[in-house]
């Protein structure tokens, strides 16, 4: 990130980098892909011990940040995840935590669930997408019908990150009064989870069917009156973290591509000395800096709960989602024939940025959202 970091944040970043390089290097990512495993649970538990799932939780609930700005600290971790295309539910778990923390002021107490997510003992994920639909978490077709003090949830959710590994789903559903969010245990009667293929090597997704799943009223997060506000907060957290992660990926790809151009010689000269390639590198560097700048603005706004945060995260996603893929594809071309071989690590990064581009709204979705927010 380009935000000015304190000494404590620098130490936190270095600790995160060292852990990821030791426990989840690129070679490990390839091994996990071959085994069909998304991420080892003990890897995530160790990450939780480093504080990866506590940064958005207030101190009175057992959490705490490094700098006093928890979301900025968390964005540092997300960026480093991108630099190694690391496994683990860094976005999924923290989005659920953001929802639970936001809902604590108006709804039932979920401090126990928050504690489980913070410790790494439990994995949570947001079930918001539905089959054959675009990103629209405020208009679910999944229903939650009130019944004798309980709610009966019926519907299908797909594109659920770490869905097959999750212990609990945060489900968006339509009620008689509007929409609501419910915590649904993965082992509840009527829940069926099916893993689906993913373009990303280690970030796996699933489809979950809720066939008359009964949950108590206390499973609701917040209230029906505050569900839209909670959803917006979760959405902002998800998109800003996603952009930070994408920036880490493209920064790493640009870094090793430039090094490749200096190391590779043609007609006695390094590739980096040719003017045509210099211009392409200059363009990519400019795009990369703009990606960083728009994301930094979004992260700062989400951290500060700025009223403009919704617009700024959409600006970041619209730009980063577009330029990130273009940067990585240009870097593939820079590597020549080597770049199009599956053995080259650049394809892991291309897969990660392609998936990030599509989820939580495409760049086109966010451009329309910006238009709506500014009244065009």
Chain region(s) in the chain for CATH 2.40.110.10: 124-221
The CA distance from 177 to 314, in Å, is 28
Interacting residues of 368 by C-beta distance below 8 A, sequence separation 6+: none
Which CATH class, in words, describes the domain spanning 124-221? mainly beta
The CA distance from 219 to 370, in Å, is 33
Structure tokens at 245: 């992660």
Report the CATH architecture of 227-373.
Up-down Bundle (1.20)
The CA distance from 236 to 361, in Å, is 11
- Identify the pLDDT of residue 36: 85
Q: Spell out the per-residue pLDDT of the chain, length 376, in tens.
A: 556 788 999 999 999 999 999 999 999 999 998 888 889 999 999 999 999 999 999 999 899 999 999 999 999 999 999 999 999 999 999 999 999 999 998 999 999 999 999 999 999 999 999 999 999 999 999 999 999 989 999 999 999 999 999 999 999 999 999 999 999 999 999 999 999 999 998 999 999 999 999 999 999 999 999 999 999 999 999 999 999 999 999 999 999 999 988 887 777 788 777 888 889 989 999 999 999 999 999 999 999 999 999 999 999 999 999 999 999 999 999 888 888 887 889 999 999 999 999 999 999 999 999 999 988 6
Residue the block writes with tokens 């590597």: 335
DSSP single-letter state for residue 122: S
DSSP readout, 169-204?
Answer: EEEEEEETTEEEEEEEETTSTTEEEEEE--SSSS--
Cβ neighbours of 307 (radius 10 Å) = 8
The CA distance from 37 to 202, in Å, is 7
Chain region(s) in the chain for CATH 1.20.140.10: 227-373
Query: Which residue from 122, 119, 208 is spatially nearest to 172, judged by alpha carbons?
Result: 208
The CA distance from 90 to 218, in Å, is 26
- Identify the pLDDT of residue 110: 96
Under CATH, which number does the domain 7-119 receive? 1.10.540.10
Burial of 180 (0-12, 13-18, 19+ CB in 10 A): buried
């Amino acid at each position: 990130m380009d935000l000015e970091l304190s000494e404590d944040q620098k130490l936190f970043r270095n600790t995160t980098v060292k852990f990821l390089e030791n426990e989840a290097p690129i070679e490990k990512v390839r091994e996990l892909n071959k085994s069909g495993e998304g991420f080892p649970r003990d890897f995530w538990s160790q990450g939780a011990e480093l504080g990866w799932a506590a940064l958005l939780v207030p101190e009175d609930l057992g959490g705490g940040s490094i700098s006093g700005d928890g979301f900025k600290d968390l964005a540092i971790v997300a960026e480093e995840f991108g630099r190694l295309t690391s496994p683990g539910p860094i976005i999924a778990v923290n989005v659920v935590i953001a929802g639970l923390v936001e809902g604590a002021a108006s709804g039932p107490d979920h401090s126990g669930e928050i504690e489980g997510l913070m410790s790494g003992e439990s994995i949570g994920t947001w079930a918001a997408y539905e089959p054959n639909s675009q990103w629209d978490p405020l208009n679910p077709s999944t229903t939650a019908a009130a019944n004798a003090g309980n709610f009966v949830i019926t519907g299908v959710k797909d594109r659920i990150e770490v869905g097959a590994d999750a212990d609990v789903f945060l489900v968006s559903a339509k009620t008689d009064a509007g929409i609501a969010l419910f915590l649904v245990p993965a082992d509840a009667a009527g829940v069926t989870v099916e893993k689906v293929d993913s373009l990303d090597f280690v970030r796996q997704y699933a489809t979950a069917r809720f066939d008359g799943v009964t949950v108590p009223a206390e499973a609701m997060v917040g209230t029906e009156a505050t569900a839209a506000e909670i959803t917006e907060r979760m959405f902002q957290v998800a998109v800003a973290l996603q952009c930070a992660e994408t920036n880490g990926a493209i920064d790493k790809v640009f870094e090793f591509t430039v090094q490749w151009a200096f190391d590779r010689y043609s007609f006695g000269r390094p590739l980096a000395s040719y003017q045509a390639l210099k211009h392409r590198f200059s363009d990519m560097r400019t795009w990369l800096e703009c990606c960083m700048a728009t994301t930094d603005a979004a992260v700062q706004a989400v951290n500060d709960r700025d009223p403009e945060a919704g617009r700024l995260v959409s600006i970041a996603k619209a730009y980063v989602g577009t330029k990130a893929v273009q940067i990585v594809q240009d870097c593939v071309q820079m590597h020549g024939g080597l770049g199009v071989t599956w053995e080259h690590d650049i394809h892991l990064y291309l897969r990660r940025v392609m998936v990030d581009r599509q989820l939580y709204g495409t760049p086109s979705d966010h451009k329309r959202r910006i238009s709506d927010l500014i009244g065009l």
